[in-house]
Amino acid sequence: SIRDVAKAAEVSAGLVQHYFPTKAALREAVNEYVASTVVAAFSDLTAGTSPAQLPEVVGQRITSIFRDQPVMLLYAARALAEHDESAAGLFDVFVEVAIEQFGLAERDGLLHADVDLLWAALQIVVYNLATILFEDALNRHLPKPLRSDAGLERWREASTALFERGIYKPPIQRAASRKRVTPSPRKRG
């Protein structure tokens, strides 16, 4: 409610309503802030970032946003999970940013030729929002809390590795791993 927002901001409800006459106006302002913060975090990647550094730098930017603005991202994840129609635009902005970053990677020859850029963008957005949304559940399994420096670094390293090289070995390596069977002893007769 407006009253809850005013209390959290330590201002009067009248002051909040002066600037935001309706909850919809307040929500729109928050959504604009979230969208502009995310866009700004990735806007300068084309300048000074080598293609080889791109996955690492993107991972650092994502964890920095979560470190510096956890409430903002949690708001976005919850609003989307609750089917808040006004938050749907946030999801669109996140996907556009991801498509742009994957487009840069594709331009620089960093992606496999058969990558579906739209699905790659959708997956990375969902992956990151789900991580934020399920932070409490994740913390039950992690040795350090997700939002600790060690937790964020581990998340960044694991996420970067997942998107950079995947989990499974290439088919040729998998087949070679399966063929390492010890020979059976020969019968002597």
Residue closest to 36 by CA, chosen among 110, 93, 117, 119? 93
Contact in structure between 120 and 102 (CB atoms under 8 Å): yes
Look at residue 175 in the predicted model and tell me its pLDDT: 67
Contact in structure between 102 and 43 (CB atoms under 8 Å): no
Look at residue 183 in the predicted model and tell me its pLDDT: 56
> How do the pLDDT tens digits run along the chain, 189 residues long?
788 888 888 999 899 889 999 888 888 999 999 999 999 998 887 666 777 788 888 889 999 999 999 889 999 999 999 998 888 999 999 999 999 988 888 888 888 889 999 999 999 999 999 999 999 999 999 999 999 999 999 999 999 889 888 888 777 766 666 665 555 555 544
Contact in structure between 34 and 77 (CB atoms under 8 Å): no
Phi and psi dihedrals of 90, rounded to 5?
Answer: -65, -45
Look at residue 46 in the predicted model and tell me its pLDDT: 65
Question: How far is 162 from 26, CA to CA, in rounded Å?
Answer: 37
